[in-house]
Amino acid sequence: MEFAVVKELNWMKGGGVHGIQRNVLFRNYKAYKAAVDSFPEEKAEQSIKNVKTLSSLERVRASYDILKTKRRSLQGCIKAKECFFTRFYGNDMDFGTRMYGRLLQRKSDELDTVIAAIEERYQELLLSAEGALWVLDGNQPSGVVSQFFEACCEYPESTLEEARLPAPKDKGEHKAIVDPVEEGMKRKRYAMIIGIWDYIASLCTPPESLFFRERLNIIHAHIARCICSDATLFLTARKYKTVEDFLRDLNLDVLVLEKLIKVLSQHNVHCIRAAIDDILRPEDDTGEYFTFLGMKLHRHLGETFPFHAWGHWAVFFPSPCLCAVKKSFSKARQISLSSKYMQLHGIRCRRLSQYHEKLHKSISILDLCGIHVAYLDPGGLRHSIEKVTESDGRCHWIETQHTIAFHGSIAFDEPLAGPFVAACTRRPDFMIRIRRGPNDEVANFPEVLWSCRFRHARTFGELDQAFWKIGAVPKSEQLSDCQRYLSNGMPLKDCLEFEAFDTSDCDFDHALFKLAKICLDIHGVKDLDGLYKRFISSYVKEGELQLDDKGEVLAINCLPEEAWLMRMYLLGAELPAFSSDHISFSNRFL
């Protein structure tokens, strides 16, 4: 009993736990400050200028290591001061004045600028030594989706963020007192690492998917490419063998993890397309590549994707509005297939929500068949008959008729392209104008098109025998609207543009359904459901789609409520044996 009292008294010296933590904090602060004071002063501008002239890899490496040590000491001082003023509520001069704190922060900012310059130079020299400077291709256009989103896009905000860790439990035991800054940074580091693994888990396919391993490899290739885009991440990760090894390191610097979360949160269409292409390449491909973190990153892109690969794309850009896919792909067929994949998985475009059900179904039928209507404008009055009284008191009748125009695009190699155009030309209530590619001549069927026509007669009964006169003709420039809609303004060489003009008196909904009905008849089905079943059945037979145990198309990614199970599986963590959820989840993998 007496020994316990003495032990407790020793524990309470210096103000108890709070006092001991302050002493540990101050001791580490002094060590960091001494290290900072030992570094020679140099102007940031001069340092950056010197860095750009360095050509020796060894010299750059040595300078980089020294500057990293200086930054670590500076950050240690700054965080110790911040921790003291926020946690201990004092104005102790042991930690320097607030003005000294601002001086440290300014030095830190200047040092970050110099380190960024030397990191970029270091990365350039390393890649140059391996003949892979093309990894830093600066001519590639920006592909961050937030820069070109359209109003109809349903792409959600990124969910990559730090995990919420439970508060540490106080077991009532006297354990070794650690630096509160180090303790806080450790928790932050764990939270970010778990957040990154949760992000990876959310991108994975369901366990029973035939493409689970392929998807995981694509995620790893995407992460490897993202790391290559940042010099700090590149230099940190190059010592690891695989992406998994890098992400499993619990001692990664918080700055590195913050940068990684930032680049992964900003989905880049070019980076993701390249990552998919990296994994889908045949094993005997002889193209130029750079091996990094166990992944082969190819210099040149392939031409096409198999249909199932659009699931890998869709997990990053789950929107059928095409704003992301048409930023990265230049083939009309590729853009069309991505839209079809989204529709078959029930991902609908927001622009369709403004139309009622009948119109929505017609648009969905056309989209599924690869026919993309640029915009829909019901227009005004279609048909009118008017009695006009002249100045001399005589009367005559005027009949006026307006067409409904649909502007659309379809890929040359779309199986439906030829039959669709031929069917439109055969219909007596349709006129059609087509253009093959952006530079080809326009063809009209029939040769003379009209958008408005009228006829006169002295009596109402004579109108039927009167000859029609053309009041207005459609402008050929309208075909460009189709091109801009499908390709984000870039001309598509493999795209057939068309304008279909309905000359009957039907309403807008029925006129659009006529186009959709042509597609249904070509495929030999009666409605949209039949078209869905036909496409799904065909792709399942080809092995490009997979059905779940309910007979529905398998989801493109892991269910949100199962993401934590997927994370545990990826990390190889074993849950308690009594966890039926964990056991059943593991058994679902093929």
35-39, 232-236, 399-403, 504-508: the lowest-pLDDT one? 35-39
Provide the 3-class DSSP secondary structure of residue 492: coil
Quote the pLDDT of residue 41. 64
Quote the pLDDT of residue 12. 37
Rounded to 5°, angle at Cα 450 from 462 and 434: 145
How many CB atoms lie under 10 A from the CB of residue 8?
10
Kindly report the length of the chain: 590
pLDDT at 478 over 70: no
Q: How far apart are CA 285 and CA 293, in angstroms?
A: 19
Per-residue pLDDT tens digits for 563-583: 888 888 888 876 555 466 667
Per-residue pLDDT tens digits for 410-456: 888 888 999 999 999 999 999 999 887 666 778 888 988 888 899 98
Helix or strand run (H / E) with residue 295:
strand 295-298
Q: How far apart are CA 481 and CA 497, in angstroms?
A: 9
> In this structure, what token pair is assigned to residue 365?
């039928």
Quote the pLDDT of residue 328. 78
Average pLDDT score over residue span 195-204: 93
Question: Residue 447 burial (CB < 10 Å; 0-12/13-18/19+)?
Answer: exposed
Provide the 3-class DSSP secondary structure of residue 134: helix
* Contacts within 8 Å (CB) and 24+ apart, 274-278: 274/221, 274/225, 274/298, 274/301, 275/218, 275/219, 275/221, 275/222, 275/224, 275/225, 276/218, 276/221, 276/305, 276/309, 276/312, 276/313, 277/301, 277/302, 278/218, 278/221, 278/225
Which of the pair, 555 or 174, is modelled with greater confidence?
555
pLDDT band at 245 (very low <50, low <70, confident <90, very high): very high
Which of the pair, 233 or 5, is modelled with greater confidence?
233
User: How many helices, marked H, and strands, marked E, lie in the chain?
Assistant: 21, 11
pLDDT at 40 over 70: no
Q: How far apart are CA 51 and CA 531, in angstroms?
A: 62
pLDDT band at 483 (very low <50, low <70, confident <90, very high): low
Provide the 3-class DSSP secondary structure of residue 527: coil
Per-residue pLDDT tens digits for 103-136: 777 887 888 888 888 899 999 999 999 888 888 8
pLDDT at 9 over 60: no
Highest mean pLDDT among 44-48, 76-80, 236-240: 236-240
pLDDT at 145 over 60: no
Average pLDDT score over residue span 191-201: 92
Enumerate residues 6+ apart whose C-beta is below 8 A from 511.
Answer: 404, 406, 502, 504
Quote the pLDDT of residue 585. 72
Per-residue pLDDT tens digits for 355-399: 566 788 888 899 899 888 876 666 667 788 888 888 777 888 898
Q: How far apart are CA 339 and CA 310, in angstroms?
A: 9
pLDDT at 80 over 80: no
Which of the pair, 527 or 46, is modelled with greater confidence?
527
CA 532 vs CA 154, 349, 539, 553: distances in Å:
22, 17, 11, 11
Quote the pLDDT of residue 482. 55
Average pLDDT score over residue span 17-24: 65
pLDDT band at 175 (very low <50, low <70, confident <90, very high): low
**Ramachandran area for residue 396 (φ above 0: left; ψ -120 to 50: alpha; else beta):** beta
pLDDT at 149 over 50: no
Highest mean pLDDT among 15-19, 290-294, 496-500: 290-294
Average pLDDT score over residue span 141-156: 48
> In this structure, what token pair is assigned to residue 457?
């007669």
pLDDT band at 285 (very low <50, low <70, confident <90, very high): confident
pLDDT band at 43 (very low <50, low <70, confident <90, very high): low
Per-residue pLDDT tens digits for 503-512: 988 888 889 9
Q: Where are the domains of the chain?
A: 2-129, 136-165+179-351+556-590, 355-524
Provide the 3-class DSSP secondary structure of residue 289: strand
Quote the pLDDT of residue 152. 43
Which of the pair, 93 or 502, is modelled with greater confidence?
502
Q: How far apart are CA 256 and CA 365, in angstroms?
A: 48
What is the residue-averaged pLDDT of the chain? 80
Give this prediction's pTM.
Answer: 0.83
User: Are 320 and 341 in contact, with CB atoms under 8 Å apart?
Assistant: no
178-187, 205-214, 257-266, 331-340: the lowest-pLDDT one? 178-187
Quote the pLDDT of residue 47. 65
In percent, the amount of the chain with pLDDT more than 70 equals: 74
Question: Residue 205 burial (CB < 10 Å; 0-12/13-18/19+)?
Answer: buried
User: Are 291 and 297 in contact, with CB atoms under 8 Å apart?
Assistant: yes
In percent, the amount of the chain with pLDDT more than 90 equals: 28
